[in-house]
Structure 1
């Protein structure tokens, strides 16, 4: 699980960097920025974390996304990957835009 700790550390760091980017752009929150955040996260985890990752999700209409508990689809993107030792994870540094558990990011193994 040591390499998953590195994934968590990178997610925490990248969340801070991404928030500073949004603030410099006069944006107040992460709503609507999940694809950009996922690109930053995916590239960074692969390059600096020794991971193999892919961006998942979609626009909510025709090609995936996320569904709420009522079954309504909406656009959203996140990162899924394998750590250096093969531990699977899901990471989302914009998950707090949803009312389910207001964490600033999530990594699930």
Structure 2
């Protein structure tokens, strides 16, 4: 299905995905080094509370980075499989501008709107 997208577009998206992957890995390593230096055992209750809050923030950020890395890896896999750029919801080609802005996206604008409408309907 990738043949419906230009090879240049796919290669540009792959380049962006690899850069984004490296960025996420670098941010993860930096955050990991910072949390290692937290000393939760020392200080008064205020210091310990701040350390716990920082640790919680690290864990939330780590989960976000893990999810983003997973999306990037899945997009790279779709490039290799030849299914990159096809909306999971509508099975239509995802808009080029959208792919360039968010190369790991799995949904076209229309597909994202459909998913959002369905999730709102079931959230009630």
**TM-score w.r.t. structure 1 length?**
0.31
Which protein has greater RCO, CA pairs closer than 8 Å, 6+ apart? 2
**Structure number with bigger Rg:** 2
| Larger relative helix fraction | 2
